[in-house]
Amino acid sequence: MSPVPDVPAGVVDDAALLRQVSDGNRQALELLYRRHAGWLLIRLGRRCADPGVVDEVIQDTFVAVWRSASKYSGQGEVAAWIWGIGVRRLVDAVRRVPATQLVADPIEQNLELSAEERVLLGVQYGDLAGALDRLSPELRAVVQSTVLDGLTTAEAGRLLGIPQGTVKTRMKRAREQLREELA
Protein backbone atom coordinates (compact mmCIF):
# COMPACT_ATOMS: atom_id res chain seq x y z
CA MET A 1 0.00 0.00 0.00
CA SER A 2 1.46 3.33 -1.04
CA PRO A 3 1.37 6.32 1.32
CA VAL A 4 -1.59 8.69 1.16
CA PRO A 5 -1.20 10.83 -1.97
CA ASP A 6 -1.66 14.50 -1.23
CA VAL A 7 -3.64 16.40 -3.81
CA PRO A 8 -0.96 18.18 -5.83
CA ALA A 9 -0.94 21.94 -5.57
CA GLY A 10 -1.98 23.88 -8.68
CA VAL A 11 -4.50 21.25 -9.68
CA VAL A 12 -7.84 22.57 -10.94
CA ASP A 13 -10.38 22.49 -8.13
CA ASP A 14 -13.71 20.67 -8.37
CA ALA A 15 -15.83 23.78 -8.79
CA ALA A 16 -13.73 24.90 -11.77
CA LEU A 17 -13.96 21.41 -13.25
CA LEU A 18 -17.71 21.46 -12.87
CA ARG A 19 -17.86 24.79 -14.74
CA GLN A 20 -15.91 23.18 -17.57
CA VAL A 21 -18.30 20.21 -17.51
CA SER A 22 -21.25 22.59 -17.88
CA ASP A 23 -19.49 23.98 -20.99
CA GLY A 24 -19.50 20.46 -22.40
CA ASN A 25 -15.93 19.48 -21.58
CA ARG A 26 -15.77 15.68 -21.52
CA GLN A 27 -12.24 15.52 -20.14
CA ALA A 28 -13.33 17.58 -17.17
CA LEU A 29 -16.14 15.09 -16.57
CA GLU A 30 -13.70 12.20 -16.66
CA LEU A 31 -11.39 13.94 -14.21
CA LEU A 32 -14.33 14.59 -11.90
CA TYR A 33 -15.35 10.96 -12.24
CA ARG A 34 -11.85 9.75 -11.36
CA ARG A 35 -11.84 11.95 -8.29
CA HIS A 36 -15.30 11.17 -6.97
CA ALA A 37 -16.60 7.82 -8.26
CA GLY A 38 -14.49 5.80 -5.81
CA TRP A 39 -15.59 7.20 -2.47
CA LEU A 40 -19.16 7.57 -3.74
CA LEU A 41 -19.20 3.90 -4.68
CA ILE A 42 -17.92 2.88 -1.25
CA ARG A 43 -20.36 5.11 0.58
CA LEU A 44 -23.37 4.01 -1.48
CA GLY A 45 -22.20 0.42 -1.17
CA ARG A 46 -22.61 0.71 2.58
CA ARG A 47 -26.29 1.51 2.01
CA CYS A 48 -27.16 -1.03 -0.67
CA ALA A 49 -25.93 -4.59 -0.67
CA ASP A 50 -26.37 -5.16 -4.41
CA PRO A 51 -23.20 -4.09 -6.30
CA GLY A 52 -25.08 -4.14 -9.61
CA VAL A 53 -27.50 -1.51 -8.33
CA VAL A 54 -24.66 0.57 -6.92
CA ASP A 55 -22.78 0.53 -10.25
CA GLU A 56 -25.92 1.61 -12.06
CA VAL A 57 -26.48 4.42 -9.55
CA ILE A 58 -22.88 5.66 -10.00
CA GLN A 59 -23.41 5.67 -13.75
CA ASP A 60 -26.74 7.56 -13.43
CA THR A 61 -25.14 10.03 -11.06
CA PHE A 62 -22.34 11.05 -13.41
CA VAL A 63 -24.69 11.24 -16.38
CA ALA A 64 -26.78 13.58 -14.20
CA VAL A 65 -23.64 15.56 -13.30
CA TRP A 66 -22.95 15.93 -17.03
CA ARG A 67 -26.47 17.13 -17.77
CA SER A 68 -27.00 19.40 -14.81
CA ALA A 69 -23.52 20.71 -14.02
CA SER A 70 -24.83 24.21 -14.62
CA LYS A 71 -27.25 23.80 -11.69
CA TYR A 72 -24.42 23.66 -9.17
CA SER A 73 -24.75 26.87 -7.19
CA GLY A 74 -21.01 27.35 -6.72
CA GLN A 75 -21.49 27.19 -2.98
CA GLY A 76 -20.52 24.26 -0.78
CA GLU A 77 -18.40 21.26 -1.56
CA VAL A 78 -18.80 19.73 -5.01
CA ALA A 79 -18.46 16.36 -3.25
CA ALA A 80 -21.55 17.12 -1.16
CA TRP A 81 -23.45 18.15 -4.29
CA ILE A 82 -22.49 14.88 -6.00
CA TRP A 83 -23.49 12.93 -2.90
CA GLY A 84 -26.89 14.62 -2.95
CA ILE A 85 -27.43 13.43 -6.52
CA GLY A 86 -26.06 9.97 -5.81
CA VAL A 87 -28.11 9.19 -2.73
CA ARG A 88 -31.31 10.34 -4.46
CA ARG A 89 -30.53 8.17 -7.46
CA LEU A 90 -30.07 5.31 -5.01
CA VAL A 91 -33.51 5.98 -3.57
CA ASP A 92 -34.96 5.89 -7.11
CA ALA A 93 -33.08 2.69 -7.97
CA VAL A 94 -34.28 0.97 -4.82
CA ARG A 95 -37.84 1.93 -5.64
CA ARG A 96 -37.44 0.35 -9.10
CA VAL A 97 -35.88 -2.82 -7.68
CA PRO A 98 -37.92 -3.51 -4.56
CA ALA A 99 -36.07 -6.74 -3.83
CA THR A 100 -32.81 -4.86 -3.23
CA GLN A 101 -31.24 -5.77 0.02
CA LEU A 102 -30.46 -2.76 2.12
CA VAL A 103 -27.82 -2.52 4.73
CA ALA A 104 -29.02 -1.15 8.02
CA ASP A 105 -25.95 0.37 9.53
CA PRO A 106 -25.59 -0.62 13.17
CA ILE A 107 -24.11 2.17 15.25
CA GLU A 108 -20.90 1.43 17.04
CA GLN A 109 -18.77 3.31 19.50
CA ASN A 110 -17.56 6.65 20.48
CA LEU A 111 -16.99 9.31 17.84
CA GLU A 112 -19.00 12.48 18.17
CA LEU A 113 -21.22 13.88 15.46
CA SER A 114 -20.75 17.42 14.20
CA ALA A 115 -22.42 20.31 16.01
CA GLU A 116 -24.95 20.69 13.23
CA GLU A 117 -25.92 17.06 13.45
CA ARG A 118 -26.36 17.32 17.21
CA VAL A 119 -28.65 20.30 16.84
CA LEU A 120 -30.66 18.41 14.23
CA LEU A 121 -31.05 15.56 16.61
CA GLY A 122 -32.19 17.97 19.29
CA VAL A 123 -29.50 16.64 21.57
CA GLN A 124 -27.03 18.93 23.32
CA TYR A 125 -24.90 17.06 25.83
CA GLY A 126 -23.83 13.70 27.09
CA ASP A 127 -22.56 10.45 25.68
CA LEU A 128 -24.10 10.83 22.26
CA ALA A 129 -22.34 7.98 20.50
CA GLY A 130 -23.24 5.63 23.34
CA ALA A 131 -26.82 6.73 23.17
CA LEU A 132 -26.93 6.25 19.41
CA ASP A 133 -25.48 2.84 20.03
CA ARG A 134 -28.41 1.84 22.20
CA LEU A 135 -31.02 2.76 19.61
CA SER A 136 -32.68 -0.22 17.98
CA PRO A 137 -31.44 -0.91 14.40
CA GLU A 138 -34.77 0.35 13.00
CA LEU A 139 -34.48 3.70 14.76
CA ARG A 140 -30.79 4.02 13.87
CA ALA A 141 -31.45 3.38 10.17
CA VAL A 142 -33.96 6.25 10.17
CA VAL A 143 -31.53 8.61 11.95
CA GLN A 144 -28.80 7.73 9.48
CA SER A 145 -30.89 8.32 6.34
CA THR A 146 -32.46 11.58 7.46
CA VAL A 147 -29.83 13.27 9.61
CA LEU A 148 -26.59 11.97 8.13
CA ASP A 149 -27.49 11.25 4.50
CA GLY A 150 -29.66 14.31 4.14
CA LEU A 151 -32.75 12.59 2.77
CA THR A 152 -36.30 13.84 3.28
CA THR A 153 -38.65 11.61 5.28
CA ALA A 154 -40.33 10.51 2.04
CA GLU A 155 -37.01 9.56 0.44
CA ALA A 156 -35.80 7.80 3.59
CA GLY A 157 -39.04 5.83 3.62
CA ARG A 158 -38.49 4.72 0.05
CA LEU A 159 -34.88 3.78 0.72
CA LEU A 160 -35.75 1.76 3.82
CA GLY A 161 -38.96 0.34 2.37
CA ILE A 162 -41.25 1.77 5.08
CA PRO A 163 -44.09 4.32 4.89
CA GLN A 164 -43.28 7.99 5.38
CA GLY A 165 -45.39 8.08 8.52
CA THR A 166 -43.31 5.31 10.03
CA VAL A 167 -40.13 7.29 9.33
CA LYS A 168 -41.60 10.23 11.25
CA THR A 169 -42.71 8.12 14.22
CA ARG A 170 -39.37 6.33 14.39
CA MET A 171 -37.53 9.64 14.18
CA LYS A 172 -39.68 10.99 17.00
CA ARG A 173 -39.09 7.90 19.10
CA ALA A 174 -35.33 8.04 18.44
CA ARG A 175 -35.30 11.70 19.50
CA GLU A 176 -37.22 10.91 22.71
CA GLN A 177 -34.95 8.04 23.58
CA LEU A 178 -31.81 10.11 22.97
CA ARG A 179 -33.17 13.00 25.01
CA GLU A 180 -34.00 10.71 27.91
CA GLU A 181 -30.60 9.06 27.89
CA LEU A 182 -28.70 12.31 27.59
CA ALA A 183 -30.76 14.33 30.11
Binding positions for other proteins, rule: CB under 8 A: 1, 4-7, 14, 26, 29-30, 33-43, 46, 55, 58-59, 62-63, 66-67, 77, 79-80, 83, 105-114, 117, 128-129, 132-133, 140, 144, 148
Nearest CB to other proteins, comparing residues 132 and 160 = 132
- Give the shortest CB-136-to-other proteins separation in angstroms: 13
DSSP for the chain?
-PPPPPPPTTPPPHHHHHHHHHTT-HHHHHHHHHHHHHHHHHHHHTT-S-HHHHHHHHHHHHHHHHHHGGG--S-S-HHHHHHHHHHHHHHHHHHH-TTPPPPP----S-PPPPHHHHHHHT--SS-HHHHHHTS-HHHHHHHIIIIIS---HHHHHHHHTS-HHHHHHHHHHHHHHHHHHH-
- Give the shortest CB-170-to-other proteins separation in angstroms: 17
- Give the shortest CB-39-to-other proteins separation in angstroms: 4
Nearest CB to other proteins, comparing residues 75 and 109 = 109
Nearest CB to other proteins, comparing residues 44 and 167 = 44
- Give the shortest CB-61-to-other proteins separation in angstroms: 9
Nearest CB to other proteins, comparing residues 62 and 100 = 62
